[in-house]
Structure 1
Amino acid sequence: MTRLRVLTVSTAAVAAALLLAGCSSPEEQAQPAPVVTTEASTTPSTTPTPTPAASTAAPVSDIQSSVDTFVAALDELGIEHSEPVRAEVGGSGAKARFDMTVSGNDAGINVFPDAETLAAWGELSDAYGGIFVSSGNAVLSLNSSEGIANSAEIAPAIAQAVGGEARGV
């Protein structure tokens, strides 16, 4: 390949990458992308094998997936709840924690790094009379003080909806 052809192909590749990445200012976004042309070459060349376009959708993390699982179950069951808000994990052993309300009472979602950490947390919660629903390495911790009767009532339905286990009921 001649240097001019390599430069032209490289320029086209960079332009395409920038276009796919969305690297432009708001004024530029409203304008169509410039057309890139290449000069005909008398040197024989091979056609490069096309590469699949990179997915623009970010993979959902296990943390977000756990939150989504519990929120979807609450929605499906028609149980009133607030949106989960990320909070400090404190000494829970969780790798992520979210505060929320369920049926007007304080609740939270804890996502643990592994089953062993969840099991240790579950034993401690059981010792203090806690009510929670586990699914995978995450729990929806329900209110076990002023809302205890409601928590005990809704926990089994939530567990069934997420394919998990209700404890403390």
Structure 2
Amino acid sequence: MSRRTTLAAAAVLAAALSLAACGNDDAAKVETNSNSSSTQGQQAETPTPAKPVSKSESVVQRFTTALDDLGIEHAEPERVEVGLSGAQMRFDMPVNGYDAGINIFPNQETLAKWQEASDSFGGIHVALSDEYAVLTLNSSEGIADSARIAPMIAESVGGTAYGV
């Protein structure tokens, strides 16, 4: 092949790739436009699907959203060792300035055993039976505050307040 033929072939290939790229852009624009809705000449972008949320993230969000909605002061939950609770996961955080936390249990039986122990010590908590999880509230220094807010939190999350 001569140099002239090679250059011509390269030019044809470059032109073909350029046209193909332009064609793909047009196809992408058509696809985007067909996925978008127009309202009075304005285009709305197609929403990006949310990433899947794990059970623990879902439970933590459920409790923290309720606390936020109720205007109850709290810090971001921090994952800690589960200790002897029987929980699969535990998160500590202050609620209204008192020690509190979220425990997530593997099943209803383990949750029931934990609740029995909590009740025997006068504990206050909000349970999500459908998630096998509890928000434990301070039952010593902050007992009056915990007894006051537990029913509000339970109503907000669709759970049950215990120890109040």
Query: Above 0.5 in TM-score?
Result: yes
Unaligned runs of 5+ in 2: 1-16, 21-47
1:74 is aligned to 67
- Aligned amino acid, residue 146 of structure 2: S
- Give the structure with higher Rg (CA): 2
1:8 is aligned to none
Q: Partners of 1:161 and 1:56 in 2: how far apart? A: 26
1:164 aligns with 2:159: yes
Q: TM-score, normalized by length of structure 1?
A: 0.67
Match of 2:142 among 119, 122, 147: 147
Match of 2:119 among 110, 121, 126: 126
Identity of aligned residues (%): 62
- Aligned amino acid, residue 156 of structure 1: P
Q: TM-score, normalized by length of structure 2?
A: 0.69
Task: Quote the RMSD (CA, aligned, Å).
Answer: 2.0
- Aligned amino acid, residue 77 of structure 1: L
Q: Partners of 1:164 and 1:107 in 2: how far apart? A: 17
SS of the residue aligned with 2:90? strand
Relative to its length, the structure with more strand (as a share) is 2
- Aligned amino acid, residue 150 of structure 2: A
Q: Partners of 1:112 and 1:153 in 2: how far apart? A: 25
CA deviation vs aligned residue, 1:23-57 (integer Å, no higher than 9, x gap): xxxxxxxxxxx98x6xxxxxxxxxxxxxxxxx975
SS of the residue aligned with 2:115? helix
SS of the residue aligned with 2:69? helix
Deviation at 1:78, TM superposition (A): 0.3
Q: Partners of 1:149 and 1:126 in 2: how far apart? A: 16
Q: Partners of 2:50 and 2:149 in 1: how far apart? A: 34
Match of 2:79 among 86, 97, 117: 86
Q: Partners of 1:60 and 1:161 in 2: how far apart? A: 20
1:62 aligns with 2:55: yes
SS of the residue aligned with 1:97? strand
SS of the residue aligned with 2:127? strand
- Aligned amino acid, residue 127 of structure 1: S
1:14 is aligned to none
SS of the residue aligned with 2:126? strand
Aligned residues: 120
CA deviation vs aligned residue, 1:112-164 (integer Å, no higher than 9, x gap): 11111111100000000000000131100000000000000000000000000
Deviation at 1:58, TM superposition (A): 3.5
Deviation at 1:97, TM superposition (A): 0.3
Structure 1 moving runs of 4+ over 2 Å: 55-58
